[in-house]
Structure 1
């Protein structure tokens, strides 16, 4: 387990957060009577360091810390395709000084594994944006399009790396299999960084990774992107020439969301505090930089709207995992 503390709090902001003598993990109040978390805050990342979830968690923690003046440490609790981190977070029920960097595993795990939680167990705070994936292969691969991969899989063994049984890449490959009536062999890993290493090392044939995880390797010429599993081509210059899978006759588009949640059963004041902090973060240059650097679509929603999004996304995933 790795733990890193982000220290961006401004002294002026910190001075405003004069907490009362409340004990435990419950919130206190500032000098003017407003809610504030009692002490430092911990951001749980349910995957290992170096992947897209880790990048998201650290960016969110830094942005919230800069706005609130509260120290926020980032703790990686990887394992079980995210189940270890989410289960640990479930145990923090009612604690308003815990947050978790959430993504599609929040919805996929309850549908595929015997876990004790669903998105309804927690308090959804903010969805920052949507993260699609690219189908990538080594630069010397014989594949030049996603159709090449599908055609080869009809007669031969094509090995795909996936970052867990409930990950976005697993979902995307399942959708491709269903749409094209093919089957890929899977090799599971714990994170996108491990998937990338296996692909570069020639241990697998294909991978479906977020643009932020592979842009450097694409630009360096170590990898090539065959298609994007998105509704439309990216507008980012570095990705604008990559066709969508839909353009190539593969009717698959699915995004992983990036956002953060709080434990279940926190107070309404705590929920509104974190939503307000998220809204403030979304108006900053730091948020814009995170979205641009990680090549996301900035579709921010908060609170109840985030809950509605999660409910709809769960319905879509139920169809995938029921097949």
Structure 2
């Protein structure tokens, strides 16, 4: 995960919160590359060592479905899902697009340049791909290494459209530099700052996508170690620090722990696989 990105922010927030619970220092290390593949592959080397945790998100599931990687989510021990967030499609305020349906219509009659971070199998690519499948259109994809580069490219006029998490773009939305077209979801955000943004489903685009965030431990840890981190996580989600992290980053709170998190991952994997094969 790259420093300053959503996974980095999530990992540091959770680490800080767990420190207060367990009374120990939790150091954070960033491992970049392959849209998360490098970090997950390296984490396999910590098999059985419960002193390590890894901040995780949807790449844990979509990488094994779309790339030749040596792991699946079952290679690790699910500890806690803190919640999820839905992506917002944004454009410069000066753009003629007012809805996501406008973007789709433009793609039918010409080229629409869309920014894609995280590689050809990252969340951006998957979501644009699902829209292409649902609407029978094709976008011109422009790859970038990070969400920060995507926003810079959008503001600089190098691309027409991008997808982003609310926490990564609220500053530009509030400043009036960018405008939101839709949320890639079935239901709108409840946060007042985002509640007026319509969904893809409202605009006739039958595509939804939520990015979960949480933590995992290495595979092969003891039942006692698993219970230790789950108990610590349950205490963390009751704290003011957790509530502040979720609200500051406009996350939708839905904590799950241990086996319940594993069941969520199994369903998420099946749904994503079905969407990619449709």
Smaller-chain TM-score range?
over 0.9
Mapped pair 1:313 → 2:274:
no
Q: Does structure 2 retain, via aligned residues, the 8 Å contact 1:49–1:76?
A: yes
Q: Does structure 2 retain, via aligned residues, the 8 Å contact 1:48–1:190?
A: no
* Structure 1 unpaired stretches of 5+: 1-46
- Counterpart in the other structure of 2:146: 191
Q: Does structure 2 retain, via aligned residues, the 8 Å contact 1:174–1:320?
A: no
Mapped pair 1:86 → 2:45:
no
- Counterpart in the other structure of 2:96: 142
Mapped pair 1:237 → 2:192:
yes
Mapped pair 1:271 → 2:226:
yes
- Counterpart in the other structure of 1:302: 257
Secondary structure of 2:27 counterpart: strand
- Counterpart in the other structure of 1:132: 86
Distance across 2 between alignment mates of 1:91 and 1:194: 31
- Counterpart in the other structure of 1:214: 169
- Counterpart in the other structure of 2:182: 227
Deviation at 1:283, TM superposition (A): 0.1
1:17-69 CA distances to partner (integer Å, 9 max, x unpaired)?
A: xxxxxxxxxxxxxxxxxxxxxxxxxxxxxx11111111111111101111111
- Counterpart in the other structure of 1:66: 20
Q: Does structure 2 retain, via aligned residues, the 8 Å contact 1:90–1:121?
A: yes
Deviation at 1:90, TM superposition (A): 1.1
Distance across 2 between alignment mates of 1:191 and 1:320: 24
Query: How do residues 116-195 of structure 1 correspond to structure 2 at under 5 angstroms?
Result: 116-164=70-118, 165-195=120-150
Q: Per residue, is there more helix in 1 or in 2?
A: 2
Distance across 2 between alignment mates of 1:68 and 1:197: 39
Deviation at 1:166, TM superposition (A): 2.6
TM-score of the aligned structures, taking structure 1 as reference length: 0.84
Larger Rg: 1
1:154-210 CA distances to partner (integer Å, 9 max, x unpaired)?
A: 021111112222322222211111111111121222322222222122211111111
Distance across 2 between alignment mates of 1:86 and 1:194: 23
Secondary structure of 1:262 counterpart: strand
* Equivalent of 1:254 in 209, 215, 218: 209
* Structure 2 unpaired stretches of 5+: none
Runs of 4+ in 1 over 3 A off after TM superposition: none
Secondary structure of 1:186 counterpart: strand
Distance across 1 between alignment mates of 2:262 and 2:173: 35
Q: Does structure 1 retain, via aligned residues, the 8 Å contact 2:78–2:216?
A: yes
Secondary structure of 1:244 counterpart: coil
Matched residue pairs, number? 277
Distance across 1 between alignment mates of 2:20 and 2:198: 38
Q: Does structure 2 retain, via aligned residues, the 8 Å contact 1:171–1:320?
A: no
Deviation at 1:245, TM superposition (A): 1.2
Deviation at 1:322, TM superposition (A): 2.7
Deviation at 1:268, TM superposition (A): 0.8
Deviation at 1:131, TM superposition (A): 1.0
Mapped pair 1:48 → 2:5:
no
Secondary structure of 2:28 counterpart: strand
Q: Does structure 2 retain, via aligned residues, the 8 Å contact 1:79–1:190?
A: no
- Counterpart in the other structure of 2:245: 290
